[in-house]
Amino acid sequence: MANVVVVGSQWGDEGKGKIVDWLSERADVVVRFQGGHNAGHTLVIDGVTYKLNMLPSGVVRGGKISIIGNGVVIDPWALLAEIENIRKQGIVITPENLRIADNAPLILPLHGNLDRAREEALGKARIGTTGRGIGPAYEDKVARRAIRVGDLADLDVLGDKIDKLLFHHNALLRGLEMPEIDRDELIGKLEQLAPELLIYAQPVWKELDEARKSGKRILYEGAQGTMLDIDHGTYPFVTSSNVVAGQAAAGSGQGPGAIDYVLGITKAYTTRVGSGPFPTELEDDVGCGLGERGHEFGTVTGRPRRCGWFDAVLVRQAVKVNGINGIALTKIDVLDGMDELKVCTGYRIDGEVYDHMPASTVKQHKVEAIYESMEGWAESTEGARSWAELPATAIKYVRRIEELIGAPVALLSTSPEREDSILVHDPFAD
């Protein structure tokens, strides 16, 4: 049976929540493999809305094992609060259905404080982070001074590890003229939450290996989108982790052979939250209309998303970088009623045509989109569950996207409701 990786092929917010929920019903194990609580998935099940940040989407489905892998940075207070909120909605979460990698790094209050202070200091040049400490936590991981989940089980040596961490952070805070971190207060907070968090801690790489050997279906659930990847995104306006499909293996303790099918979630137009280049952005009534019809507000931040035409250059690049086998095309119903649609087929920079997003930040900000115009459709696609229910021009739009990005549509989503989808190919069938 195939193991599936779900990744965003744009700048995140592609509608992964619904698709991951649909796939999680078919999976036995659902794994989060990167990011932190700066990402959000919204699930609508039987009319009930669930908003998840760190918890894998499988938690809302009975009989599934949900795993938070070592590639995730975990704010333990935020995670425990999220668990409590989901429980209030009638979802049972116990160590029987939720596992947390014991080698996953923790996000501490000092990380969020530093994140926000840096953004404030950058002024207009700010990156646009959520201010939740994700970046500083990954910095500490790479610098080998992070506090990890398993460290909470060794309280006798936790003080020494905190001392090494604060040696760095308090020096930064002094430079920013901010109050230093109280060592004993931080240790006390960690000691208090340790019993609540450690009941979920496991060597998840081992459990995943056993699951694979026993033939269980594993769904690797990505957050954010390819163009926010620390290596392959529009750097420096990116997140602090690898979000591409290859990270599914490294971020959960598996080899690359664990991945059988990569599904790229792709919105029928383009959106972005925060700062950074956006070649197809529409700062006019058309862009505002897309935002209003698509309810384009960040799940985590509530910030309005920037909106623009479909960028086939970006998605084609994402297809290659991730090894995407097929895409799930979402929100096509938002385009209903538009007389004309445009698709970006190339970039022009200083008179030269590019077929990809260059790594140079200077060139990225000079990009001019090259468009191809297409006829829109007046009919509604909302709720369609078969190709026969779609207008011919909508089908033509989908087929043209397939040609331009070099990947087939495996699933077409026509509303937030999970049943309103057209399945072309089941990723788990490979």
Positions marked active-site: 13, 41
Rg of the chain, C-alpha, whole Å: 22
SS3 177: coil
- Which DSSP symbol is given to 217? -
Residue 255, judged by CB atoms within 10 A of its CB (0-12, 13-18, 19+), counts as: exposed
Q: How many CB atoms lie within 10 A of CB 364?
A: 19
Residue with tokens 């003080």: 159
User: How many angstroms from the chain centroid is the CA of residue 3?
Assistant: 18
Q: How many residues does the chain have?
A: 430
Helix axes 109-122, 134-142, angle to 10 degrees: 110
| Residue-wise DSSP of 215-250 | T--EEEE--S-GGG-TTTSSTTSS-SS--STHHHHH
Q: How far is CA 203 from CA 102, 206, 305, in A?
A: 6, 6, 38
What does the alpha-carbon distance between residue 36 and residue 241 come to, in Å, rounded to a whole number? 9
How distant is the alpha carbon of residue 154 from its chain centre?
A: 32
Tell me, what amino acid is at 414?
A: T
Q: Give the closest residue to 104 by CA, choosing from 142, 64, 141, 55.
A: 141
Give dist(CA 222, CA 348) in Å, integer: 31
For residue 367 the two structure tokens come to 């990009």
> How many C-beta neighbours within 10 Å does residue 351 have?
6
